[in-house]
């Protein structure tokens, strides 16, 4: 196979988006959410991994967190990986990585500075209130990640927010 043939082959393969986010909590167990200005609802700090630039999901989550909320935090372990189908949306499938951002202290919470080009606000939310604020699959992903933290389990594999296997 020539280099040209290989390049054509690669160009014809299916594409998948890669996203990465961080799950931050306060000392009381509330989850940090951000409110994007480009769509309805709430989200976690994070975004699209710039894989064309060689960025890894962990690097993407850290970069997006620093850009969106002004905190450059070393992220903890990978809590969940979620395969999210397009489900009628105008995007390819998404592989979403969710990392443990840890517990933020009062000083870190006061230091949050929003990226005004993308975010309207932030808030801390009790886990039982997340389902009413987050898109369904993200709510399930966050619930699964909180469960992993509580049970001290390893990384959970999800499909559209549901545990596999």
Q: Alpha-carbon distance 106 to 8, whole Å?
A: 53
Residue 1 belongs to a domain: no
CA dihedral 117, 120, 122, 123 (to 10 degrees): -170
Whether 7 is in a domain gets the answer no
Number of domains within the chain: 1
* Inside any domain, residue 11: no
- What mean pLDDT is predicted for residues 143-158? 96
Residue 77 lies inside a defined structural domain of this protein: yes
DSSP state letter for 90? S
Distance set, CA 165 to CA 109, 121, 158 (Å) = 37, 37, 9
CATH code assigned at 125: 3.90.79.10
- Answer yes or no: is 8 within a domain: no
- Answer whether residue 140 shows pLDDT above 80: yes
Q: Encoding tokens for residue 72?
A: 């450059």
In a domain, residue 101? The reply is yes
pLDDT tens per residue across span 83-120: 999 877 778 899 999 999 999 999 999 999 999 999 99
Residue 45 domain-assigned (yes or no): yes
pLDDT value of position 165: 67
C-alpha–C-alpha distance, residues 163 and 144, integer Å = 8
Residue 42 has pLDDT above 70, yes or no: yes
Whether the per-residue pLDDT at 65 is higher than 80: the answer is yes
> Quick one: what percent of the chain has pLDDT higher than 90?
80
Q: Give the E-state strand segments of 37-77 in sequence order.
A: 46-48
Instruction: Give the domain extent around 39.
Output: 16-163
């Amino acid at each position: 196979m020539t280099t040209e043939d290989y390049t054509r082959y690669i160009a014809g393969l299916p594409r998948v988006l890669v996203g990465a986010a961080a799950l931050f909590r306060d000392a009381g167990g509330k989850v940090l959410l951000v409110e994007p200005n480009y769509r309805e609802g709430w989200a976690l700090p994070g975004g699209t991994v710039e894989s064309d630039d060689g960025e890894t999901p962990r690097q993407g989550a850290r970069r997006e967190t620093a850009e969106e909320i002004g905190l450059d935090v070393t992220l903890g372990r990978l809590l969940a990986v979620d395969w999210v189908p397009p489900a009628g949306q105008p995007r390819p499938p998404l592989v979403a990585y969710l990392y443990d951002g840890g517990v933020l202290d009062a000083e870190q919470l006061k230091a949050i500075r929003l990226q005004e080009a993308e975010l309207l606000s932030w808030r801390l939310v009790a886990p039982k209130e997340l389902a009413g604020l987050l898109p369904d699959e993200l709510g399930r992903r966050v619930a699964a990640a909180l469960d992993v933290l509580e049970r001290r389990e390893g990384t959970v594999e999800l499909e559209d927010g549901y545990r596999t296997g």
